[in-house]
């Protein structure tokens, strides 16, 4: 069954509701220019209140390695129950940069056109998150043409960008990705989730 990642978590209630409704992963954004950015201390406080079993993802954009390590360490615990299980890089990070973290690595690619998919070839990451092109970072909120992926092996692909409860099922049936990522499509405003939309989105995705 497709995995669902709810990104841009900024508070405990949104995190708890996402997990309650069946989210497989939660994304915590540490990009300072994002309206959904959380501090390491705030994220750690949320993590320590969450049950085990989920996947917590730390998102960075062109960040210094030492800063990434500090954030990952700040959320760590002996059993990793309350720590991060994956790291997502959403900038121009190189293949060398993305190796050696000791966690699952998700590399995001913003697609200008179908040719942009050539970046995935032999890139050292566990999963590839595909988003539409935007001049900024951290998620575009717009979709890209799904037909670009029809000839691609999508078993390691997470699709993102413009997904909502109206179109997620169609996207999954067409692309058959490993997972889907949603942020603005289930929000009241940046950083604050609509719990009803989260529930309906996850039901639609899992039902597809």
Q: Which residues are catalytic?
A: 7, 131
Residue 4's closest CA among 182, 185, 184?
Answer: 182
Both tokens assigned to 155: 């078993």
Q: Whole-angstrom distance between the N-terminal and C-terminal Cα of the chain?
A: 9
Pairwise CA distance, residues 106 & 127, whole Å: 5
Pairwise CA distance, residues 91 & 60, whole Å: 8
Residue with token string 């709810």: 6
Total length of the chain: 208
Pairwise CA distance, residues 45 & 61, whole Å: 22
């Amino acid at each position: 069954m497709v995995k669902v990642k709810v990104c841009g978590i900024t508070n405990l209630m949104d995190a708890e509701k996402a997990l309650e409704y069946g989210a497989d992963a939660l994304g915590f954004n540490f990009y300072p220019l994002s309206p959904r950015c959380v501090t390491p201390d705030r994220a750690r406080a949320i993590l320590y209140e969450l049950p085990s079993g989920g996947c917590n993802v730390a998102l960075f954009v062109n960040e210094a390695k030492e800063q990434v390590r500090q954030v990952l360490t700040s959320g760590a615990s002996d059993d990793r129950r309350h720590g991060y299980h994956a790291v997502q890089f959403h900038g121009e990070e190189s293949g060398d940069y993305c190796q050696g973290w000791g966690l699952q690595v998700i590399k995001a690619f913003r697609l200008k056109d179908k040719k942009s998919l050539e970046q995935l070839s032999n890139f050292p990451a566990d999963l590839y998150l595909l988003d539409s092109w935007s001049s900024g970072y951290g998620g575009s909120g717009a979709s890209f043409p799904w037909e670009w992926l029809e000839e691609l092996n999508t078993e390691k692909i997470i699709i993102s960008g413009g997904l909502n409860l109206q179109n997620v099922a169609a996207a999954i049936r067409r692309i058959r990705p490993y997972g889907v990522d949603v942020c603005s499509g289930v929000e009241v405003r940046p950083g604050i989730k609509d719990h009803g939309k989260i529930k309906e989105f996850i039901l639609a995705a899992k039902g597809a």
